[in-house]
Amino acid sequence: MHQIQHLQQLVNQAIAGKTFKGEPAELYDPINYIMSLGGKRLRPVLLLMATDLFSGSVLKALEPAVAIELFHNFTLVHDDIMDKAPLRRGKPTVHAKWNENVAILSGDVMLVEAYRLMMNTEDQVLRQVLDVFNETAAGVCRGQQIDMNFEQEDGITIPEYLEMIRLKTAVLLAASLRIGALLGGAAADDAGKLYKFGESLGIAFQLQDDILDVYGDPEKFGKQTGGDIIANKKTWLLLKSRELAEGLDEEELNYWFNESDAGPSEKVRAVTAVFDRLGIRTLAEAEMNDHAEHALQQLEAIPVPAERKKLLREFAEQLLVREN
Amino acid sequence: MHQIQHLQQLVNQAIAGKTFKGEPAELYDPINYIMSLGGKRLRPVLLLMATDLFSGSVLKALEPAVAIELFHNFTLVHDDIMDKAPLRRGKPTVHAKWNENVAILSGDVMLVEAYRLMMNTEDQVLRQVLDVFNETAAGVCRGQQIDMNFEQEDGITIPEYLEMIRLKTAVLLAASLRIGALLGGAAADDAGKLYKFGESLGIAFQLQDDILDVYGDPEKFGKQTGGDIIANKKTWLLLKSRELAEGLDEEELNYWFNESDAGPSEKVRAVTAVFDRLGIRTLAEAEMNDHAEHALQQLEAIPVPAERKKLLREFAEQLLVREN
């Protein structure tokens, strides 16, 4: 069995060894740039763990693992244009460093190259793997569009929010696991259980992100807390608090939501106080734990010795106690 | 054997029957919109003709044919953002009708959906077909980036220009034919000849476009001539005239190239007069004919009865005497 850090290393080596070369440079430099910015490599590591789970080996899944990371980075490049984000992992985004046209087009090439790398599979699973990849890629785009629509919409419900984060975040984690399982020779049913494990894990992961943005330790979290509150982001915490708030709490939430001249730290303090009065943190943690629980049940149900599933369980637990 | 118009009808019916449905609407409405704007459906018709050539049937190639048209329209949607084009086929472009974010993201989904449709092949050709598609998709992106770079560059040579139009225009026509051939069960060698036929035909087609922009009959061409001259577009005609011009002609080309306050019709008249003195039209037509000739030789060399190749020859000839 491989250690998590070992798998991360393996992925990083594979990425470092795969310089995207080609003319013109404007098209390929941004790919190498964004891929070299690092990150936790969650998706390729999950893919490799899934292959390992069913086949006891990971090397044959290395190119599809890089493909998943490349796809993920394609979505970051295009999302950053749409969100007008200046920074990604502390460095200038592709459209900021080059320009929007370069970011659109090199993003397009990344998607194509992701397909190319994803095809490094045995013939008998090629179609299945690409079916999962197509479905997932369309789902991630849908999630991004729904997220953008939410900015303009009022009255978003918690189920609608959960469906958005399922598409935007969870299905790609889930697909990484399903593809890894297929590459490892898993039966369709078992690959499906692993998919559901990833889906629930991904939702729990995003909910934790929402919680940490308000309640995380800034030093461990790596950024100032309260960013979502300042940006009026419709997170699970905000939506739940609006659902529950009455009287003065409701009035206060409305006031801060519409007050654009307020000092940011004052706004964060006041909105967090409302959250606290309504017990939002506990509720959010309960919802997160439900999804995490459901994830682990799916993992349990896969007919593989518990010993072999230890790493995935460990990984899930690490993911959900992280503070960064 | 199928008639060209019949094949166009078949493609249009297949496109009309394939409404892209899904949530949210912002993602799928633009796909149906751009696909319904029409066009000559060159690429899918070429694909179907190639399948027909080797198998005597076209129906099994219909979904990949739609995939090629969808891919082509994806490139139009993203290119129109980059070129800040307000109109496409006389109608508002996607980014003008919705916004840039919608155009980026619905374009991304079109690329994914193109892969999905392209996979409607028999298992034994799936990998080959997708290899061609990947290679081509990356090539088209490269062509677009080179074209954008040309706007900022001086001293572009004719061979560099031909390589740019090969990537930006010709390889997709060529790939349509190669994929159609593979779907029709062609040997790799014959599919390769048909690819080269398409590549040379595509270059000839683009050169004709350059010629028509200056010398076309505005009524038949469907738009005012001289647009490339007004926009200082580095077409084959401009590059060749710069290569040949001396003395007063050279001075005049430079003057008009750098003169942004000139009346457009005055500029078109003056630059066209320089082209005329240098015999650019004849030279451009000779270059175009060379490529067309080379295309037809490739077609000749395919070991299929001449009778069966009549339609492709006819199509190539129609394409190159069009005035619109």
pLDDT in tens, B133-167: 999 999 999 999 999 999 999 999 999 999 999 99
CATH architecture of the domain with residue range B1-186: Orthogonal Bundle (1.10)
pLDDT at B11 over 90: yes
Task: Round to whole Å and give the CA distance between B154 and B165.
Answer: 17
Q: Which of A275-289, B1-15, B103-117 shows the lowest mean pLDDT across its residues?
A: B1-15
Across the range B18-30, mean pLDDT stands at 92
The DSSP code sequence of A100-148 is: HHHHHHHHHHHHHHHHHHHT-S-HHHHHHHHHHHHHHHHHHHHHHHHHH
Distance from CA of B163 to the nearest CA of A (A): 12
Nearest to B177 by CA among B47, B284, B56: B47
CB pairs under 8 A between A and B: 106
Chain B positions touching A70 (Cβ under 8 A) are none
pLDDT score of B321: 76
Phi, psi of B91, deg, nearest 5: -120, 160
Q: Per the CB < 8 Å rule, is A112 touching B138?
A: yes
Residue of B nearest to A109 (CA): B138
Confidence tier at B222 by pLDDT (50, 70, 90) = low
Interface test with B, best of A63, A95, A115, A150 (most B CBs within 10 A): A115
pLDDT at B1 over 60: no
Q: What is the DSSP letter of A3?
A: -
Q: Per the CB < 8 Å rule, is A127 touching B148?
A: no
The residue among B320 and B111 whose pLDDT is bigger is B111
Residue with tokens 């080797």: B54
B1-186 against B188-324: fold identical: yes
pLDDT at B198 over 80: yes
- Please count the helices (runs of H) and the strands (runs of E) in chain B: 17, 2
pLDDT at B324 over 50: no
Domain range list for chain B: 1-186, 188-324
Q: Per the CB < 8 Å rule, is A119 touching B113?
A: no
Q: Per the CB < 8 Å rule, is A105 touching B144?
A: yes
> Side-chain half-sphere of B31: how many Cα atoms within 13 Å?
28
Q: Per the CB < 8 Å rule, is B27 touching A123?
A: no
pLDDT score of B60: 94
Distance from CA of A240 to the nearest CA of B (A): 23
Confidence tier at B2 by pLDDT (50, 70, 90) = low
pLDDT at B323 over 60: no
Q: Per the CB < 8 Å rule, is B141 touching A105?
A: yes
Q: What is the pLDDT of residues A13-28, one digit of tens each?
A: 999 998 888 889 999 9
The residue among B264 and B67 whose pLDDT is bigger is B67
Chain A positions touching B107 (Cβ under 8 A) are 108
Confidence tier at B221 by pLDDT (50, 70, 90) = low
Residue of A nearest to B138 (CA): A109
Asked if B120 reaches chain A (Cβ–Cβ under 8 Å), the answer is: no
Chain B positions touching A134 (Cβ under 8 A) are 112, 115-116, 119
Task: Round to whole Å and give the CA distance between A309 and A6.
Answer: 17
Fold of B188-324: Farnesyl Diphosphate Synthase (1.10.600)
Q: Per the CB < 8 Å rule, is B27 touching A119?
A: no
Q: Which of A27, A116, A141 sits opposite B141 (nearest CB)?
A: A27
Task: Round to whole Å and give the CA distance between B76 and B107.
Answer: 9
Strand, helix or coil for residue A227? helix
Q: Which of A45-54, B53-62, B218-227 shows the lowest mean pLDDT across its residues?
A: B218-227
Q: Per the CB < 8 Å rule, is A138 touching B112?
A: yes
The alpha carbon dihedral of B261, B262, B268, B270 has a sign of: negative
pLDDT score of A324: 43
- Which pair of structure tokens corresponds to residue B104? 């980026």
- Which pair of structure tokens corresponds to residue B224? 């005012």
Across the range B23-47, mean pLDDT stands at 95
Nearest to B114 by CA among A234, A108, A10, A253: A108
Residue of A nearest to B132 (CA): A116
The answer to whether the peptide bond before residue B264 is cis (omega within 30 degrees of 0) is no
Q: Per the CB < 8 Å rule, is B134 touching A119?
A: yes
Chain B positions touching A123 (Cβ under 8 A) are 123, 127
Residues 6+ apart with CB under 8 A from B109: A138, A141, A142, B27, B28, B31
Q: Per the CB < 8 Å rule, is A134 touching B112?
A: yes
Q: Per the CB < 8 Å rule, is B142 touching A27?
A: yes
pLDDT score of A16: 93
Q: Which of A78, A126, A142 sits opposite B104 (nearest CB)?
A: A78
Chain A positions touching B123 (Cβ under 8 A) are 123, 127
- Which pair of structure tokens corresponds to residue A64? 């599809």
Distance from CA of A82 to the nearest CA of B (A): 5
Residue B247's region, left for phi above 0, alpha for psi from -120 to 50, else beta, is left
Asked if B156 reaches chain A (Cβ–Cβ under 8 Å), the answer is: no
Q: Which of A24, A26, A144 sits opposite B105 (nearest CB)?
A: A144
pLDDT at B302 over 90: yes
Q: Mean pLDDT of all residues in chain B?
A: 94
Q: In chain A, which stretches have pLDDT less than 50?
A: 1, 323-324
Q: What is the pLDDT of residues A277-287, one digit of tens each?
A: 999 999 999 99
